[in-house]
Every structure is written in C-alpha cells, then in structure tokens.
Amino acid sequence: MLRTWLFILWFLLSAKSYSQSISVIQINAEWNERNSIDLSKLRNAKVSFGYLGEQPESLKNQIKAVPTIMIFKDGKLIHYWNADLSFKLKIRQEEIQDYINSIQ
C-alpha cells in the first residue's frame, strides 16, 4: 500500500514538473551554418533548428541577425540571443542550459 502511494505521489510531482513546455529554436542562414551552436546536449527542452530562408515572412522580419536562439515557454517567447556583427553568438550551450534550469 505504501508503495502504491509513493508511486502516485511521484507521478503527480513528475506530471507537475513537466507540465510547462520549454522549446529552444535556433535559426541560422545556410551560408552561416559554421557558426551554429551545438544544442544537442540540452536537457528538459525540445530543441529545433531552422534556416532563415525557410521561415515565414512574419518570422523573417523579426530576426535581425543570424544565428538567433529563441526560448519559448508554453508557446510564448521569453528570451532570445542574437549574433553580433561577426555573425557569431557569444554564448555557450552551458549558459543556455542554466537559463532553462532557472525557468523550470
């Protein structure tokens, strides 16, 4: 009986912690692919990549520099990083993971 209650408690806590969806999207241009950041080791977030040329006009107009990394929580943009004039992002994957951890 105790084992059943522990399982139910664990399940409820797990469901609560994963109920908020976090997505990380990196947008870059094909000509700048060498400056993409490897995000494959990020945890607790869905990671996607897309080329700027393949995005809808509404998104293209919002992106001022590539690469750009955007963080969404429950479908809302909450943070982003843009490249500087060198077309490189000055952020490491560990810093992005720290940010994800802080918003969970």
> In the structure, what pLDDT confidence band is assigned to residue 82 with cuts at 50, 70 and 90?
very high
Number of folded domains in the chain? 1
Q: What CATH number corresponds to the domain at position 43? A: 3.40.30.10
Specify if 30 maps to a domain.
yes
Q: What is the pLDDT of residue 20?
A: 64
In terms of residues, how long is the chain? 104
H or E stretch covering 5: helix 2-17
Percent of the chain with pLDDT over 90: 78
The answer to the question of residue 2 being in a domain is: no
In the chain, what percentage of residues exceed pLDDT 70? 81
49 confidence band (pLDDT: 50, 70, 90): very high
- Characterize the bridge pairing of strands 76-82 and 68-73: antiparallel
Q: Is residue 67 part of a domain?
A: yes
Q: Which domain holds residue 81?
A: 20-103
* pLDDT recorded at residue 13: 47
Q: What is the mean pLDDT of the chain?
A: 86
Give backbone dihedrals phi and psi of 19, rounded to 5 degrees, phi first: -75, -25
- What is the identity of the amino acid at 49? F
Strand order in the sheet with 46-51: 46-51, 22-28, 68-73, 76-82
Domain contains 3 = no
